[in-house]
Structure 1
Amino acid sequence: MLTTSSFPVAVAPVTIPVRELLPWAIFTGLLLLLAIYFVGVEQGATSLFPGMYIHEFVHDGRHLLGFPCH
C-alpha cells in the first residue's frame, strides 16, 4: 500500500510587520525621487551641478521615460 500523500501541505503565510517594512519603503521612495530628479529635472536653469555631464549621462533615460530635453 501507498503510505505517502501527493497533496501539498498547507503552509501559513509569513507576516511582515509594517514597522519593519516602513523604513525600507521610505528609503526606496527617497531613492526613486532622487533618480527622477536627476533624470527629469537636472538640466539647464534648474541644475544644481555645473555642466551637462549628468544630463548627457541620463539622456537616453529621459527619452525612454518621456521627458522632453531638446
Structure 2
Amino acid sequence: MATASTISDDVFIPIGGETAIPVKDIIPWAIFGVLLALICLYFVSTEQGALSLFKGMYVHEFVHDGRHLMGFPCH
C-alpha cells in the first residue's frame, strides 16, 4: 500500500523555526544589484553623450529604444 506523504515529510522544506535571511547575507547581493542597475542606467541614459566611454554609435543604437521608453532624449 502506498502511504500518503505531506509537505512536512520533506526534509528540504523548513517548517517553523528560524527561516529569515540574515541582513549580513543580503547586503553583498543588494550592493551588487544596485551597482548593476547603475551601470545599466548609465548605458541607457548617458553613453554616447558628453561622458561616453566607447567611440562610435554602437551602444547608442543598441539602447536607443530603451532610452526613449525611459524618457531620455537622444536626438
**Could you say whether these structures have the same fold, taking a TM-score greater than 0.5 normalized by the shorter chain as the test?**
yes
Instruction: Name which of structure 1's ranges 39-48 and 15-24 shifts more when overlaid on structure 2.
Output: 39-48
Distance 1:40 1:29 in 2: 16
Stretch of structure 1 that moved more, 19-28 or 38-47: 38-47
The structure showing larger relative contact order (alpha-carbon pairs under 8 Å, at least 6 residues apart) is 1
Paired residues, number: 61
TM-score by length of 1: 0.79
Provide structure 2 residue ranges, at least 5 long, that are not aligned to the other structure: 1-14
Aligned CA-pair RMSD: 1.6
Higher fraction of helix: 1
Q: Which runs of 5+ in 1 are unaligned?
A: 1-9
Runs of 4+ in 1 over 4 A off after TM superposition: 10-13
Greater displacement, 32-41 / 45-54: 45-54
